[in-house]
Amino acid sequence: MPEYAKNFHIMRRAFIMLESGLIVSAPGSDVSHEQMLSDIGMPSVKIRSVLAFNPRGYFMNGEICLYQGCDMQLGAKWELTPAGLKLVSQYLPDLRRMFNLNDETPVYTGVIVGDIGTIWEKINKTTLKTLENRNIVM
């Protein structure tokens, strides 16, 4: 992994949301989402499906960034689907507690794919409180 990519991974706290639980990287870890799944023993053929259809993201600099997708084409949009948003709603209380979030914490529900190791453009900005309220009525 290039040094700039490693630095990004170290600065953020990655997480993946599964039906069976929330997987969160250790502070200062440079592990990728793919490696996190591999580390729990998930077969490689299943990992791609999980990356495509399950919400994942990171906490960094006081913001939460959520997305799902695996199309690595530059400029592709990885946005949460309605099913993804429903799963996110189950874990918002955990994220709030783990990262000491408040109602006004910025939350992005998508990214635009950029170069590996760079911070991809975040899209669909909202707040934690707005996202929680949206999920209540879903």
pTM: 0.91
Q: What is the number of structural domains in the chain? A: 1
Q: Using CA atoms, how far apart are residues 44 and 117, in angstroms rounded to an integer? A: 21
Domain range for residue 14?
Answer: 3-136
With a cut of 70, list the residues of the chain below it in pLDDT: 1-2, 4-5, 117, 135-138
Q: Which residue intervals of the chain are DSSP H helices?
A: 3-11, 33-39, 44-53, 82-98, 128-136
Q: Using CA atoms, how far apart are residues 62 and 127, in angstroms rounded to an integer? A: 12
pLDDT digits (tens, 9 = 90+) for 4-43: 667 777 889 999 999 999 999 999 998 889 999 999 999 9
